[in-house]
A and B are shown apart, each in its own frame.
Chain A
Amino acid sequence: MIATVIVFIFLLLIMLLGVPVVVSLGITGILFVLLSNYSLQSIPSAYYEGINSFVQLAVPFFVLTGELMSRAKLTEKLVDFAKLFVGRFRGGLAYINIFASMLFAGLTGAGVSDVSALGTILIPAMEKEGYDRSYAALITAVSSIIGPTIPPSIIAVIYGAVTGTSIGGMLMAIIVPGILIGIFQMITVKLYFNKHNLPDDRQFVERKEIPVVIRKSILALFLPIIIIFGILGGIFTPTEAAAVSVFYALFLGLIIYKNLTSKDLYDSLISTVKISASMYMLMAAGGIITWVMARTAIPTKLANLIVSYTDNCLIVFFIGIGLALFLGLFMDNGVALILIAPVLTPLVKSYGIPEFQFGAAMIVALNIGLITPPFGMCLFAASSVGNVKYESMLKYLWPFLICSLLVLILCVFVPELTLFLPRLGGFM
């Protein structure tokens, strides 16, 4: 037991000192092996087994889809499409920004890319219509956390992989919370319309333009629909859906929109290799930690410890979510997930909380970390894309942060929000 405590304190220490996470996890495993009686060969073996499965192939495919779609210059088309639906209201561009983020979420799998794609177009446009530039940047940042929730979603694949949860089910479970975050944020825009001093801009699409806008964007919007219905209907496995989405993105970029060059293709592949290798290394090193935890039976010990204090499953749920929120404040989402998901998921499951519900809530919690000061990654990205002072955005932040937290609380208290789609797809 003492060895275990030493090992984990050591892990936290070197990780906080800035040692690359993969190395920190690996060294911790090595230290554990040296303190106990296992063979060092367990380290490469656990490292290898961390990613040895077909479902994890979905990671590079989703990354590649996102890379291709961001290079296919679809942003303006999506903005026009969003304009069609929410542009006519007072504060049209603020709604458009959020709605376009929801659409964009169906094309890419990560939040930060969404900030730069939408921010470069919408922040100047919003400033021109009389919005405070900081407000424009902030809206771009907060709405970007919808990105990792609507499929393709890389974080859902990682969660499924490290906890052994069905990836198809996870992809389905986080859709509704993602959409809710978007809707709640739009409501927040409306509630704070006067307080935030927003201009009365209304964005209309001319009647004769409507068919053109729909025709230009509708095919791109089929991408998430193919993935969702493909998985729900049992037509594809998640990995196959991901491979199909790569080719659908290629089809759009090369044949329909004709704006992907061979250089775009090569660059997309290079980014895909870098991003997926980084995710894979993390998962592999996570395999080492999972191995250590299995040897020390930490999840069971933790469960016993908590059981001795409470048998209320909500308290356990909140402890898990609280931990995710806390780690999300200063850690990369993938890292936080790999550290806590393998410990917490079996724990909450033993309390009868479905893993899809917990996983979805955890992903929402980690995403909220992306827009929580002082280290929120998406806030930094928006302040650099929008060229505004980080601090100046914060005065608008709180209502949006609170409404995202509200979605998180709903995920805890209303299980059907997250369980409805996985059940429909036959995952539970």
Chain B
Amino acid sequence: MFTIKLIKNLEKIADLLNKIITNITVIAVAIMSIIVFVQVVLRYIFGTGLGWVEEVSILLMMWIAFVGGSLLFYDKSNISITILIDKIQGTPKKIMSILFCILTFIFSYVLSRYGMDYAWIGLVFRFGGINISRFWSFVSVPIGAVFIFYFTMVDLIKLFYNEGEEN
């Protein structure tokens, strides 16, 4: 009974994370479009640009890419070649799914563990225009990777749990 409750809660957290990340990235895309457009308008009408636009939009792009990208592991909309995997069923398919999860764990572990090391290096460098450290841009990689890890973990637990239920 306790396990069921735990799994339900883990799923709920995943759903909540999905909602939060979606909304944050949606706002980020909107801001990014607006500032680049305003930049063009300012340049043509007033002959002057804003120095920070390029840096802020790259920063937002990184967060959309790496943190927003983790959502692909939530709704499994990752691009993959499904020609062979579509043809198998039952236990082989389950084994393959477990293999996918393990590989994803390794990948997200490397990205988060070593990505964090890399992010610390960013502290030394700064975005000139907005005067903040590049850490805030680099850190999107490990944060995104932690979310990928979490979403994949929930998937893997569900995979085993559903099997237990069937038995």
Contact = CB atoms under 8 A, between A and B. Distances in A.
Interface stretch (A96-104, A182-190, A279-287, A418-426): A279-287
A168 to B, nearest CB: 15
Contacts of A270: 22, 26
Contacts of A269: 26, 29-30
A18 interface: yes
Given A240-B36, A277-B72, A60 B80 contact: no
Interface string A5-17: 0000000001111
Given A16-B83, A60-B64, A284-B66, A274 B71 contact: yes
Interface string B49-66: 000001001100110111
A26 B62 CA distance: 17
Contact of A273 (B36, B40, B68, B113): B68
Contacts of A16: 81, 83-84
Given A20-B104, A43-B111, A15 B81 contact: yes
Interface in A245-266: 246-247, 266
A258 to B, nearest CB: 21
B69 A281 contact: yes
A27 B64 contact: no
Contacts of B110: 26, 30, 40, 43-44
Contact of A48 (B69, B83, B118): B118
A422 B84 CA distance: 41
B80 A21 contact: yes
Interface stretch (A204-212, A330-338, A396-404): A330-338
Interface of B: 22, 25-26, 29-30, 32-33, 36-37, 39-40, 54, 57-58, 61-62, 64-66, 68-69, 71-73, 77-85, 96, 99-100, 103-104, 106-107, 110-111, 113-115, 117-118, 138, 141-142
25 contacts: A15-B80, A15-B81, A16-B83, A19-B103, A20-B72, A23-B103, A26-B107, A27-B107, A30-B110, A40-B114, A41-B114, A43-B114, A48-B141, A56-B61, A57-B61, A61-B36, A244-B40, A273-B68, A274-B72, A277-B25, A277-B64, A277-B71, A277-B72, A331-B81, A335-B79
Closest 10 A-B residue pairs measured CB to CB? Answer: A18-B85, A280-B65, A44-B115, A20-B78, A243-B36, A277-B68, A281-B69, A26-B107, A277-B69, A269-B26
